[in-house]
């Protein structure tokens, strides 16, 4: 029930600018500070004016609410105010229906003041301004807010909040940036509406393109829905600036799988308009030393992620495991990750244990659809990479062939992938790349060697350097392999089993060079290859063992190594047994004092396995 005689006092909304201020009108304001010539009064977060001391009517302190009349607006935008004291008045809010601009449309607004709405994906304090990374349904935008050098602006704004930013669009170092006047957290209904809008749009944007596989494959055709799901999860992580950690088995197949995905993700990060160095802090590829995601790996990943979260306001990561991750050996790490709600995605071709799927948000594995390890991680990774970002296909289409020969795949797909690239990379070239990857990873140890590995796979486009590097690495690897074989082959001990299988034992601890290339697993593999050649037509199992481990390879013996390991664990109390791997290629660990018992029991089990004639 307002009286018409009441005096109107205006209150400016957050989005109002100078054009909403009228000379002669009265506004409600807040005392911002004092100078010896008067006091500054804010009409909203962006607009302030000066009340000269001759126009002050009362004593005030900072943040007092005052009523002021606009005496004049100068050409430079300065506002002269005069304090007024009124007892009875009516307040009217002035809201500017500022149209919200989509991040992808900012390019055409340079020099203009705009409003954007989105989720805070990162808050980074620099030595100058605070940088907020805002994600909306169309893209990612950095917003700089400055109070004082190195001081956090808008400290009330938190990660993952839905906010409205008002500021000027600028070009900084060739990148669009908004210099924020105001960053306000939206509340209640507004938040829900914006979040829904963003989620819906992101969902559509993250949907992978519907493209056919590189080669014909029934198994991968059946895996397509899960591959699409993984691609979508990864695309979405990129669009919301969630860091991605890509962990992989440190052999040629694992590296191939991870490198294909790396190309797709890094290119997508660049395209989505994030910071020029975003590909370095939002994506990390790292090999796992063990053939599984061990506690050391999760501990390291967690340690770095939590520190980045606290220091740079980064989101917690999405972790993607390839050529690793589908067995119960990974479970202890998943349990730790779960405490921190870290989502996991797995692309693997190891025989999966059903117990681990509860830890994963997606899991591509040929065993789920009646396939087996012949579809290697590098094949799966490359197909997923194409779904993440089809543009990188020309650079990665030879990678499945390299992975296939590296992992000695016997699936029909191996030949199809080789055929696809035979003009540029014949089988011998693919084998060389695979060997070069294995050899180089030995020297890289825990490092990803991003650019060296790209040269080995000829992704950097410098073919001359690629050719020289691979030739040199292959030469180095072969020399060391020959050296190792001439030392250990004379020490191989043969056993004939009643099943007709031949078991060969080699103590790689005392009859092979240690801490060198090839390491025990690969050494056993090389020994196995030579024994297979020397025993054509016979089922062959090679056991390379050390004090507390054994590595198994087999040809023509239908073993199930993960199951044998599980049985031995029960049958030999005090054996300290663990391990796993593929059905016919795997490893087992035990305590040193029980080695003879475990090896004999293992050989007995091998003797019980069916042989192929
Ligand atoms: Mn593999």
pLDDT tens digits for 195-235? 998 888 889 989 999 999 999 999 999 999 999 999 999 99
Cα of 458 from ligand 1 centre, angstroms: 21
Cα of 165 from ligand 1 centre, angstroms: 47
Strands (E), 211-317: 244-249, 283-288
User: How many residues are listed for the chain in this entry?
Assistant: 613
Cα of 546 from ligand 1 centre, angstroms: 23
Cα of 357 from ligand 1 centre, angstroms: 19
Name the percent of the chain lying above pLDDT 90. 75
DSSP 452-495: HHHHHTT-SS-HHHHHHHHHHHHHHHHHHHHHHHHHHGGG-EEE
CA distances for 97 relative to 20, 102, 115, 178, 197, angstroms: 11, 15, 10, 20, 18
Cα of 254 from ligand 1 centre, angstroms: 6
Residue 577 DSSP symbol? -
Domains and CATH numbers, the chain: 8-94 (2.40.50.140), 103-205 (2.40.50.140), 208-425 (3.90.1640.30), 492-611 (3.10.310.40)
Cα of 407 from ligand 1 centre, angstroms: 6
Token output for 504: 């060969």
Among all chains, which residue has been given the structure tokens 């065993």? 367
Of 366, 322, 315, nearest in space to 345 by CA = 322
Phi/psi of residue 422, nearest 5 degrees: -60, -30
Token output for 45: 């977060």
pLDDT at 5: 64
Cα of 583 from ligand 1 centre, angstroms: 12
Cα of 376 from ligand 1 centre, angstroms: 5
Low-confidence ranges of the chain (pLDDT < 70): 1-5, 96-98, 273-276, 613
Bond into 518 cis (ω within 30): yes
Q: Cα 510 to chain center, whole Å?
A: 41
Asked if residue 163 lies in contact with residue 118, where contact means CB atoms within 8 angstroms, the answer is yes
Cα of 323 from ligand 1 centre, angstroms: 5
pLDDT at 76: 86
Burial of residue 14, with CB atoms counted within 10 A of its CB: 0-12 exposed, 13-18 middle, 19 or more buried: middle
Cα of 333 from ligand 1 centre, angstroms: 20
pLDDT at 2: 46
Q: Cα 340 to chain center, whole Å?
A: 16
Sequence-separated (6 or more) residues with CB below 8 Å from residue 5: none
Cα of 521 from ligand 1 centre, angstroms: 14
Cα of 259 from ligand 1 centre, angstroms: 14
């Amino acid at each position: 029930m307002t009286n018409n005689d009441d005096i109107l006092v205006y209150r400016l909304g957050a989005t109002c600018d100078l054009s909403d201020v009228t000379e002669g009108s009265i506004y409600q304001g807040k005392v911002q500070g004092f100078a010896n010539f008067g006091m500054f009064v804010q009409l909203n977060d962006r607009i302030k004016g000066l009340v000269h001391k001759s126009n002050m009517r009362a004593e005030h302190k900072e943040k007092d609410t005052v009523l002021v009349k606009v005496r004049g607006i100068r050409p430079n935008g300065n506002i002269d105010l005069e304090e007024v004291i009124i007892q009875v008045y009516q307040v009217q809010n002035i809201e500017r229906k500022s149209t919200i601009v989509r991040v992808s449309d900012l390019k055409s607004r340079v020099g203009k003041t705009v409003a954007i709405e989105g989720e805070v994906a990162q808050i980074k304090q620099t030595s100058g301004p605070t940088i907020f990374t805002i994600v909306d349904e169309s893209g990612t935008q950095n917003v700089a807010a400055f109070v004082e050098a190195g001081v956090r602006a808008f400290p009330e704004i938190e990660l993952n909040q839905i906010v409205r930013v008002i500021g000027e669009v600028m070009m900084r170092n060739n990148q669009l940036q908004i210099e924020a006047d105001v960053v306000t957290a939206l509340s209640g209904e507004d938040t829900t509406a914006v979040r829904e809008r963003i989620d819906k749009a992101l969902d559509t944007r993250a949907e992978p393109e519907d493209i056919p596989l590189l080669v014909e494959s029934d198994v991968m055709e059946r895996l397509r829905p899960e591959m699409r799901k993984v691609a979508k999860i990864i695309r979405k992580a990129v669009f919301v600036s969630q860091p991605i950690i890509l962990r992989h088995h440190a052999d040629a197949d694992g590296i191939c799988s991870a490198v294909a995905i790396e190309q797709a993700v890094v290119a997508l990060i660049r395209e989505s308009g994030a910071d020029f160095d975003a590909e370095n802090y939002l994506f990390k590829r790292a090999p796992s030393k063990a053939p599984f995601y061990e506690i050391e790996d999760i501990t390291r990943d967690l340690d770095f992620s939590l520190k980045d979260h606290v220091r740079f306001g980064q989101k917690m990561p999405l972790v993607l495991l390839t050529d690793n991750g589908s067995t119960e050996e990974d479970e202890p790490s998943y349990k730790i990750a779960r405490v921190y709600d870290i989502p996991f995605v797995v692309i693997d071709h190891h025989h999966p244990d059903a117990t681990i799927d509860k830890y994963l948000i997606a899991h591509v594995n040929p065993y789920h659809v009646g396939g087996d390890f012949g579809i290697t991680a590098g094949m799966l990774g490359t197909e997923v990479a194409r779904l993440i970002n089809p543009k990188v296909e020309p650079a990665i289409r030879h990678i499945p062939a390299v992975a296939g020969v590296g992992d000695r795949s016997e699936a029909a797909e191996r030949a199809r992938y080789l055929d696809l690239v035979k003009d540029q990379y014949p089988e011998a070239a693919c084998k060389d790349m695979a060997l070069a990857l294995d050899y180089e990873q030995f020297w890289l140890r825990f490092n990803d060697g991003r650019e060296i590995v790209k040269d080995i796979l000829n992704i950097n486009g410098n073919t001359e350097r690629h050719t020289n590097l691979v030739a040199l690495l292959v030469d180095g690897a072969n020399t060391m392999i020959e050296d190792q074989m001439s030392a250990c082959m004379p020490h191989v001990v043969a056993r004939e089993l009643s099943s007709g299988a031949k078991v060969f034992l080699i103590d790689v601890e005392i009859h092979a060079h240690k801490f060198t290339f090839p390491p025990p697993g690969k050494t056993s593999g090389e020994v196995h290859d030579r024994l297979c050649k020397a025993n054509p037509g016979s089922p062959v199992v090679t056991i390379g063992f050390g004090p507390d481990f054994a590595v198994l390879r087999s040809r023509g013996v239908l073993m199930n190594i993960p199951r044998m390991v599980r049985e031995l664990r029960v049958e030999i109390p005090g054996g300290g047994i663990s391990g796993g791997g593929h059905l016919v290629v795997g490893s087992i660990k035990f305590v040193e004092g029980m080695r003879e018992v475990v090896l004999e029991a293992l050989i007995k089990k091998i003797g019980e396995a069916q042989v192929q004639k």
